């Protein structure tokens, strides 16, 4: 859409576009007398009737009666800049584009934040939304990560344990234990710390047992699946006690810190 502005020196009317007025803060150069003037201040209304121009004080060429019926007004040329603020009607067309750009950037930032949160709390999401485990595992395979099972030591207990000497072989002891998962979801098998003690309850031998140590290698798939909700896991393990002379033991479970 074009507008009409008038040179305040020679009264010549020009058709201008908003882009011309917006480029240099509204400053244009008269195509007739070369005067630089404020094209915004010189805007005139063009109604349904033909625009009546004031006659030029220098020439009578701009009398409406002598103006060609459809002659296009000479174009105004842009001049060097001015930092004056643009009027609202010139800048309002840019506002929707800027709003759309900021909305797009905010959407990208929100998606990235949600992705980071899903990665950080992927285990918790898999527990709260079991149907989300398969999509999370598929996404982790693409990213080279995994969805580990929950680790809640307060919801796993040692139901029973027993430590005895192996009567057939010297310096060999046998540990029997039963673990119980009291959580309503499957959990990772914990690590166990076995401490042998003497008569004064002083430690004489300590050993950390990981699931790969106390579970049968043939039950690797079971180890990956973890302890089912409310289930028990029993195991029997033979250990070399060496020359330690122990009369008692302590056994407790824990989860090692993730690297």
The C-alpha angle with vertex 32 and arms to 28 and 35, in degrees rounded to 5, equals 45
Per-residue pLDDT of the chain (259 residues; tens, 9 = 90+): 667 888 888 888 878 777 777 777 778 888 788 888 888 888 887 655 444 443 333 333 333 444 445 555 555 554 445 555 555 555 555 567 788 888 888 888 888 888 777 777 777 777 777 777 778 778 877 777 778 888 899 999 999 999 988 777 777 889 999 999 999 998 999 999 999 998 888 998 999 999 989 988 877 777 888 899 999 999 999 888 777 777 899 999 999 886 5
E-assigned strands of the chain?
A: 2-6, 13-17, 27-29, 36-38, 43-44, 77-78, 156-165, 172-181, 191-197, 203-209, 232-240, 248-254
Max distance between CA atoms of the chain, in angstroms, equals 130
Domain spans of the chain, in order of start: 2-84, 94-143, 153-254
Could you name the CATH architecture of 153-254?
Sandwich (2.60)
Backbone phi, psi, residue 16, to 5°: -130, 160
**Measured between alpha carbons, how far is 103 from 109 in angstroms, rounded to an integer?**
10
How long is the chain?
259
Which two three-digit tokens encode residue 35?
A: 């005067």
SS3 137: helix
Indicate the DSSP class of residue 48: S
**What pTM does this model have?**
0.50
The per-type count for the chain, helices as H runs and strands as E runs, is: 7, 12
């Amino acid at each position: 859409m074009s507008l009409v502005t008038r040179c305040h020196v020679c009264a010549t009317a020009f058709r201008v576009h908003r882009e011309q007025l917006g480029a240099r803060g509204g400053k244009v150069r008269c195509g007739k007398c070369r005067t630089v003037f404020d094209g915004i201040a010189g805007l005139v209304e063009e109604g349904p009737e033909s625009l009546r121009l004031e006659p030029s004080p220098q020439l009578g060429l701009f009398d409406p009666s002598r103006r060609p019926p459809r002659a296009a007004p000479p174009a105004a040329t842009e001049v060097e800049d001015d930092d004056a603020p643009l009027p609202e009607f010139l800048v309002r067309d840019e506002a929707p584009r800027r709003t759309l750009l900021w909305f797009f950037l905010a959407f990208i930032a929100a998606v990235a934040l949600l992705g980071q949160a899903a990665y950080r709390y992927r285990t918790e999401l898999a527990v709260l939304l079991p149907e989300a485990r398969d999509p999370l595992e598929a996404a982790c395979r693409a990213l080279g990560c995994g969805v580990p099972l929950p680790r809640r030591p307060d919801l796993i207990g040692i139901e029973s344990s027993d430590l005895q000497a192996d009567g057939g072989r010297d310096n060999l002891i046998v540990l029997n234990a039963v673990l119980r998962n009291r959580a309503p979801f499957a959990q990772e098998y914990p690590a166990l710390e076995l401490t042998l003690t003497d008569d004064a309850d002083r430690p004489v031998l300590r050993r950390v047992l990981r699931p790969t140590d106390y579970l049968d290698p043939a039950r690797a798939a079971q180890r990956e699946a973890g302890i089912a909700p409310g289930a028990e896991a029993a195991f029997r393990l033979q250990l070399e006690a060496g020359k330690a002379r122990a009369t008692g033991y302590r056994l407790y479970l824990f989860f090692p810190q993730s690297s």
